Amino acid sequence: MVITQKHSRRAVLKTGIAAAAATALAVPETKSQQSQIPSTWEPKKPGELRISAICGEDNVVRGGINAVTRNLPNSKFWWADNYRPITPDMLNDTDLLITYYSSYLYSEENTRVIIDNVTSGRMGWIALHNTPWFTKGSLSDLLGVDCALHREIQPVIICNLNQNHPITKGIEPHVINLDEQFGLMLRKPDDPDVTVLFKSQGVHDKQRTIQGVCAQRGKGRVVTFTPGHYNWTFDNEACQEILWRSVNWVLNLPIPKFYGNYESFIW
């Protein structure tokens, strides 16, 4: 498994501090990519890797998540925006599930399909931002966490990055310039299949909490990543690298070198 080299503290901190400038640089490419994303559901074709983003408020995450996933080979990216109904057939055609503002997804039947598909290894799941606020019961067991309501919206330092896991190894602390600091509480702290990936600390109130967790569930994998109330979190390249690695990890793929460039920012 290939892991990127350790980034300098200065370069990574630039990522958070200059997030607004980075967003400005990324806009043209993001818009051109968005126009190519189908919003009409079509059954998956043979050999295709289907990415289904169930995101009620897609304007926040769309550009950043598309940037993370567009380099996956033979992949087709589909957005379920405007809170459209999601059926078990759609989920059964999904290899990578990405959720954000997705409370409308979790019907009893869809919940069963998600659990079956993840634990059998047919589907990986990236649970973004407030996803664990909406999941209850068996889905929370699958993620391994419960969600705590955020405090003040403030600058947030991503810290305590797990240097023993391929998703976060070599990534140093970095700043998100403004975010809702949703916290995660482990359902079973002694669960050997759940790993804390990183924590965060609010710059103003000094509150520290878990914000990134991954879990091995049967043959499948899930990652919970709770930063991301605003679009600049997903345009922040340190966060993009964590998500890039997470996507490959939940799909049980080798983690290639990150496609981004930490030197592309202006102050």
Q: Tell me the C-alpha distance between 214 and 212, whole Å.
A: 7
- Ranges under pLDDT 70 in the chain: 1-39, 57, 82, 261-267
What the chain holds in terms of domains, given with CATH numbers, is 9-250 (3.40.50.880)
Among 38, 48, 43, smallest CA distance to 73 is for 48
Q: What is the pLDDT of residue 264?
A: 47
Residue 83's pLDDT is 73
Packing angle of the helix pair 237-250, 58-69 (nearest 10 deg):
70
Cα(222)–Cα(197) distance, rounded to whole angstroms? Answer: 12
How many other CB atoms sit within 10 Å of the CB of residue 91? 22
Tokens of 27: 């806009």
Q: Is the pTM of this model over 0.85?
A: no
Q: Which long-range contacts (CB under 8 A, 24 or more apart) does 103-111 make?
A: 103/56, 103/134, 104/56, 105/54, 106/134, 106/135, 106/136, 106/139, 110/86, 111/138, 111/139
| Distance (Å) of CA 8 to CA 12, 69, 214, 263 | 6, 25, 25, 11
Tokens of 143: 């993620």
Which of 200, 242, 237, 174 has the alpha carbon at shortest distance from 23?
A: 237
Residue 130 CA, distance from chain mean position: 11
Which pair of structure tokens corresponds to residue 53? 């983003």
Alpha-carbon distance of 200 to 64, in angstroms, equals 20
Kindly state the helix (H) or strand (E) to which residue 61 belongs, with its residue range.
helix 58-69
